[in-house]
Amino acid sequence: MSATDRDAELVYAITHRGTPPDPPEWWRGAVFYEVYTHSFRDTMGNGLGDIPGVTEKLDYIRDLGVDGLWLTPFYPSPQQDNGYDVSDFCGVHPPFGTVEDVQTLIDRAHALDLKIMFDFVFGHTSDEHPWFAESSASRDNDKADWYVWADPAPDGGPPNNWISSFGGRAWRWVPARAQYCYRPFLDCQPALNLRNQQVMAEMVGNMRFWLDMGLDGFRLDAIQCLSHDRDLRSNPPARASENPSVGGGPNNPFKQQIHLFDRDVPEAIPLLHQIRRVANDYDPPRVLIGELADVDSSRLAPKYTVDTDRLHAVYDFDLINRADTLRDWTQMLALRSSYLTPGSSLNVFTNHDSPRAVSNLMPKACAAGRDRDAAKLLLFLQCTLMGGAIIFQGEELGLTQPDIPEDEIKDPWAKALWPDFQGRDGVRCPLPWVRGEKNCGFSTSDSPWHRVPEEHHDRSVDQQERDPDSVLAFTRRVLRWRRSLPMLRTAAEHILADTPLKVIAFQREKAGQALVCAANFGLEAAKITLPRSSLTPQFSHGDFTLDADHLTLGPLAVIALS
């Protein structure tokens, strides 16, 4: 594999950017709601959310106006990485329920006209998976080649310099084999050797187990890690600033390398073809949405979605991790709208791996006590920028990022990099359903896995349902409006240049229809010149005045005009 192969893939992707079919497939430009299983709703009283809890709240999800939901891993797991360390791909971790509960959930979602996707971790397993027990026992067992094994370097150290995304060497020494095992995340998450067709066949069988139950598709975990350099070559060094897409705080050692040989390698593309063939085997075809992290995704995402034999769509972290200035953000949006096929990426402002969006992206508005308006602005953008969207649970309530004291930290990533990196516990706190109830109605347990932060109590669903001006009411309104405008799902996008510093404005266009959208991130009014006059407001929040082709937007106001 050479740098030229990588470039060729990118050139191919950009030059083969397609036009979405009309009418678009259901997933294109769709809006999903991410349910973090652990923290959504506990019906069993064990302090963890569960599958029946999701079923119980499906009406709530449907009423938001989303197209479907994605559920984070609920498979049997030692829970070292909250379920992303899977020890059995075809079961349910007992505290979350049973396989029958899952079938009920799928059926009920469909009855409500919601699509439903599960997480699927293709690249690694838990070290408690029976495959690993066998593979790690000796060098000559039936599964000896099912994981990525390598002899030590001549000095006895790891075979190369690769680093884990969570910090530290990406190799674990296994005495029984006198070899190192590759693990791109935690020690307990060994990477599968997907070049081995027996492994691929087993993994495909595991996918089919859930797809056969009627599941609509998968969110595929960490697709940048599906493969790696065959020759295990060491990565070249980098300055941290060369890795702006990488999370984990400013000093994450993972930022000190160019991830030429351990992330986003060309060898992953044939694997994507294989996985897509499985999804296409079904009628209707099932959908694959990839998580693309650690890499310069705004530039690389097209590779993963070009043509009809890779993934349907991807989401990434660039809009979360690269928000130093609004100008950078706007430039990145412009790049994305010129690279990506409309509807093949999902706008994500936060998820279970990132801080809450308002606190991360709009700290000044939060400091000024305007976090609710800021939350509405971000929801508006998620729903109007080119692409679909994934709304993480609690964003519809405008939840802010809570501080989690060190002794309550559970996230292994935070433990590895503390105090530089506060980790992911804050965003994973339970959803507040009813103010005043025990654990705000999340759980009846005396020891929920995380407590509901004090500052979230007033934001409970029951409180917001009573308030027509709440973030929840806004979410329902903006999603209802979005649904009434199908062009928003696949229209091309043009980011308007020369807007005031604090304003993002763009035009969506499709088949002679055009919609101009603008959002003022500032705490003062801002005036912009519209591309033409005689535009009529279609949707707005906050103050604005319109005078011919001049629009003045009040602080944190948003508007769409056509």
Which contiguous run of DSSP H or E holds residue 218?
Answer: strand 217-220
118, β-bridge pairs: 71, 218
Report in angstroms how near the CB of residue 185 gets to ligand NOJ at its nearest. Answer: 4
Phi (first) and psi of residue 528, to 5 degrees: -130, 155
- With H, G, I as helix, E, B as strand and everything else as coil, classify residue 266: coil
Using the Cα atoms of residue 327, residue 332, residue 335 and residue 336 in order, give the sign of their dihedral: negative
Residues 6+ apart with CB under 8 A from 340: 17, 301, 302, 305, 386, 387
Q: Which of residues 282-301 bind ligand NOJ (CB under 6 A)?
A: 291
Determine if 222 is a binding residue for ligand NOJ (CB under 6 A).
Answer: yes
145 is a catalytic site residue: no
Distance CA 217, CA 213 (A): 11
Least distance between ligand NOJ and beta carbon 34 (Å): 10
Rounded Cα distance, 529 and 6, in Å: 41
348/518 with CB nearer ligand NOJ: 348
Residues 173-202: x where in contact with ligand NOJ by CB under 6 A, - otherwise, as a string: ------------x---x-------------
Phi, psi of 64 (to 5 degrees): -65, -30
Closest CB 353 distance from ligand NOJ, rounded Å:
5
Give the count of residues interacting with ligand NOJ (CB under 6 A). Answer: 9
Question: Among 221, 229, 396, 411, which one carries the catalytic annotation?
Answer: 221
Residue placing its CB nearer to ligand NOJ in the complex, 186 or 519: 186
Q: Which of 335, 365, 372, 361 is nearest to 506 (CA)?
A: 335
29: left (phi over 0), alpha (psi -120 to 50) or beta: left
Considering only 27, 33, 74, 84, the residue that binds ligand NOJ (CB under 6 A) is 84
Return the HEC string of 47-108: CCCCHHHHHHCHHHHHHHCCCEEEECCCCCCCCCCCCCCCCCCCCCCHHHCCHHHHHHHHHH
Near ligand NOJ in 347-406, by CB under 6 A: 352-353
Cis omega (within 30 of 0) on the bond before 284?
yes
352-382 burial, b if ≥16 CB within 10 A, otherwise e?
A: bbbbbbbbbbbeebbeeebbbbbbbbbbbbb
Tell the smallest beta-carbon distance from residue 276 to ligand NOJ (Å).
20
Rg over alpha carbons for the chain, rounded to the nearest Å, is 23
Q: Compare residues 125 and 257 and give the one whose CB is closer to ligand NOJ.
A: 125
Report, in Å, the least distance between residue 474 CB and ligand NOJ: 27
Least gap, CB of 238 to ligand NOJ (angstroms): 21
C-beta of 77 vs 305, nearer to ligand NOJ: 77
Is residue 493 flagged as an active site residue?
A: no
Phi, psi of 133 (to 5 degrees): -55, -45
Least distance to ligand NOJ from the beta carbon of 543, Å?
Answer: 39
Q: Which two tokens stand for residue 25?
A: 């497939």
* Contact call for residue 216 and ligand NOJ (CB under 6 A): no
Bridge partner residues of 191 (DSSP): 124
What is the C-alpha separation between 12 and 131, in angstroms, rounded?
A: 37
Please enumerate, as own/partner, the contacts of 366-369 that have beta carbons within 8 Å and a separation of 24 or more: 366/400, 368/523
Q: Is 127 in the site for ligand NOJ (CB under 6 A)?
A: no
Of 49 and 555, which CB lies nearer to ligand NOJ in the complex structure?
A: 49
Binding mask 130-169 for ligand NOJ (x = CB under 6 A): ----------------------------------------
Closer to ligand NOJ by Cβ: residue 81 or 296: 81
Tell me whether residue 166 or residue 539 sits nearer to ligand NOJ (CB atom): 166
CB-nearer residue toward ligand NOJ: 291 or 395: 291
Q: How far is the CB of 222 from ligand NOJ (least distance, A)?
A: 4
**Residue nearest ligand NOJ (C-beta atom):** 84
Q: 184 or 398: whose CB is closer to ligand NOJ?
A: 184
Shortest distance, position 119 Cβ to ligand NOJ, whole Å = 8
| Among residues 50, 81, 216, 396, the one that binds ligand NOJ under rule CB under 6 A | 81
Q: Shortest distance, CB of residue 184 to ligand NOJ, whole angstroms? A: 8
CA 399 to chain centre: 17
Q: Which of 101, 216, 221, 493 binds ligand NOJ (CB under 6 A)?
A: 221
Q: Which of 229, 291, 316, 493 is catalytic?
A: 291
Q: For CA atoms 353, 356, 361, 367, give the dihedral sign.
A: negative
> Please, which contacts does 12-21 make with residues 24 or more away whose CB atoms are closer than 8 Å?
12/303, 12/306, 13/302, 13/303, 13/305, 13/306, 14/302, 14/339, 16/306, 16/307, 17/302, 17/306, 17/339, 17/340, 17/341, 18/306, 18/307, 18/341, 19/341, 20/341, 20/342, 20/343, 20/344, 20/490
Cα torsion angle, 480, 486, 489, 493, sign: negative
Pick the closer one to ligand NOJ by CB: 185 or 506. 185
> Which residues of this protein are in contact with ligand NOJ, per CB under 6 A?
81, 84, 185, 189, 221-222, 291, 352-353
The catalytic residue positions are: 221, 291
